Amino acid sequence: MNDAGRGTEGRGEATTLPRGVRVASEWAWRLLVVVALAGVAIYLIVVFQDIVVPLLVAILICALVAPTVGALRARHWPKWLAIMVCLVALAVIVGGLVLLVVWQVRVGLPQVEKESTAAYQRVRDALRQPPFSITDHQLSGYLAKAGAFVQKDAASILGGVLKVGTATGHVLAGSLVALFATIFMLIDGAGIWRWVVRLFPKSAAPGLDAAGSAGWRTLTSFVRVQIIVALVNGVGIGLVAFFLGLPLAVPIAVIVLLASFIPVIGAIVSGVVAVAVALVFGGPVQALVMLAGVLGVHLLEAHVLQPLLVGGAVKVHPLAVVVGVAAGTGLAGVPGALFAVPFLAAANSMITAMLHSHERPAPVDPHGDTESAPHHESEVTAPPDGLDPDTPRRAEGED
């Protein structure tokens, strides 16, 4: 009697709460759980960033070369040969850019030194004039204070050099991890994805399968499109610097190309660097021309390339892109800014596909290529030729 009375009393108290309050409370604790899981995930990523960052780099490299590997395999190239050719070609392109920058810097160094001296004299002449009216004696005092500050913090600077040495070791180790991860993902990406799917309940397999396919398609499209955008930005701003007669036009173009892989922030930083170089080595007129060229290139990107190419590959609102890049930069610096937009785009596609997976069956690739569909059978785990994968096999030993 007492237990029944207490149960009735509890149900009565529950019914007295407004429905809106009950719904809000249910949503609140679920959101708290999601936020807590996200916080734990971010903490683990930060702790194991020496492993996570190379793996993310490997995924981006796979997304870049996977279509080419698939095209070579469609022409009956062996898988190992297609993978090796694509990776070697990528290494040659990156190495060629580095050698080109180093060569341009060495060739243009005498001109840079000469023009740097002339720029310093122009700055001194400008500082002597109103409204600055800084005398040579005052300027020498400011430079002496700057030198004393550097000497005072020499220990911190040396510590930073040691940190750079340690970071170099981490970069080498991370490069090896990224290389091996890239090779294994290209060889058996489907097997890796199936292993991940098997970690979850079988009822979740169709949704995860659809999410993986959608996320992979979005990621490959994003990388391909971002390379086109970066090339247009680098070549456009590099040509403006070349026609203005600025030193180190090729390094400026390479800096802009690399910075363009970080949306919004990369374009702003690289544009400021280009305008600053034009101001120092050319003057105000050249700086204004460079500013106009930078704005023209970015307007071309925003009004032509973005709607035609990026809009179809990255279905994320521009505000979400800006917030994501800012959040990624705050959490993980440059790597966070680099991976923010691909992560948002892939996550958006994966969540959408998972929510709508019950409306259609999981897609099936007739070719079974690992590169084009990460959830498909690999050459190792695929059924033997001539056997329908939908036909159940007889147990071993049956006649």
Written as one string, the DSSP assignment of 300-351 is: HIIIIIIIIIIHHH----HHHHHHHHHHHHHHHHHHHHHHHHHHHHHHHHHH
Residue 31, token pair as written in the block: 């959101």
3-state secondary structure of 360: coil
pLDDT in tens, 88-130: 999 999 888 889 888 888 887 777 777 777 777 877 777 777 7
ω into residue 201 within 30 of 0, thus cis? no
Nearest to 257 by CA among 272, 240, 235, 276: 235
Residue 5 has what pLDDT? 52
pLDDT of residue 157 exceeding 70, the answer is: no
Q: How far apart are CA 380 and CA 373, in angstroms?
A: 15
pLDDT band at 169 (very low <50, low <70, confident <90, very high): low
Tokens (6 digits) for 236 = 């456009």
* pLDDT given for residue 190 in this prediction: 85
CB count within 10 Å of CB 341 equals: 24
Decide if pLDDT at 395 tops 60.
no
Q: Is the Cβ–Cβ distance between 68 and 86 less than 8 Å? A: yes
The pTM of the full predicted model, rounded to 2 decimals, is 0.69
* Predicted confidence (pLDDT) per residue in 287-326, tens digit: 899 999 988 888 887 777 766 765 555 667 777 777 888 8
